[in-house]
Amino acid sequence: MFDEADENYDPVLIESIIDFDPNTMCVEQESSDIIDTLRGWLSDSVPSHIDIDSIDSFSDHSEIFSFEIPLNRKEWLVEDLASKRQRSPRLFEFLVLLLGKPQYKSYASFIDKAKGVFQIYQPEKVAELWQSVKSRQSNQRMTYDKFARAIRWYYKSNIMQKTNTRYTFQFSSKTLKNYFVDENNNTKLSLKS
């Protein structure tokens, strides 16, 4: 059906083929065949010791989706409003960019985009990615623990809100207002601290 080696292969396109109703959280009947096919692929690509049925959205998927996503630094630059210069993103900007990239959906994705609530599925992968994208480099390894602490600093400045749920974070309404002023799927970062 779809061949990954095919240059026309597009995971986003596949997604649009499946008729998913966000209200009922169910897929339409016609889509079930496609789901089964995808499930078949998963069976072939996932290590045999892993029970696919045991995989849920709250587990760390790093063992399952262990393939590397090539890093393209340019994709992670933001334009500084003041200087009009390209620069590495701040942590919250990194999060906005990450959530906007379909290829990173297995890393983290929105649970409730309108409220800015998102969940991280591969904590250490995200922390690792943050380390390679951020401006301020260090010799030590970025861990989810430190990554999460940095996010918690945002509570005080009201850039983020507490969720008190495992691997789940939320942008504040203020941040949502200032950084999601886009109407399409293009992420707009209109800075204004």
Residues 106-125 interacting with DNA (rule: CB under 7 A) = 123
For the bound state, the minimum distance from the C-beta of residue 49 to DNA, rounded and expressed in Å, comes to 20
CA 192 – CA 83 distance, rounded (Å)? 13
Two structure tokens written together for 152: 């918690």
Q: Map residues 145-174 to x or -, x wherever contact with DNA holds by CB under 7 A.
A: xxxxxx-xx-x------xxxxxxx------
CA-closest candidate to residue 95, choices 104, 85, 84: 104
CB closer to DNA out of 104 and 120: 120
Quick check: helix, strand or coil at residue 134?
Answer: coil
With binding defined as CB under 7 A, does residue 83 bind DNA? no
171: CB partners within 8 A, 6+ apart: 92, 95, 96, 116, 159, 160, 161, 179, 180
Which member of 76, 92, 104, 179 binds DNA (CB under 7 A)? 92
Q: Which residue has the tokens 């994208």?
A: 133
Residue count, binding to DNA (CB under 7 A)? 32
Name which of residues 13 to 32 contact DNA (CB under 7 A): none
Min separation Cβ 182 and DNA, Å: 21
Answer for which of 8, 48, 140, 184 binds DNA (CB under 7 A) is 140
CA distance 82 to 173: 23
Tell me which of 121, 130, 171, 179 binds DNA, using CB under 7 A: 130
- The DSSP annotation for 154-185 comes to HHHTTSEEEEEETTEEEE-HHHHHHH---SSS
Give residues in contact with DNA (CB under 7 A).
Answer: 60, 90-92, 123, 130, 134, 136-142, 144-150, 152-153, 155, 162-168, 193
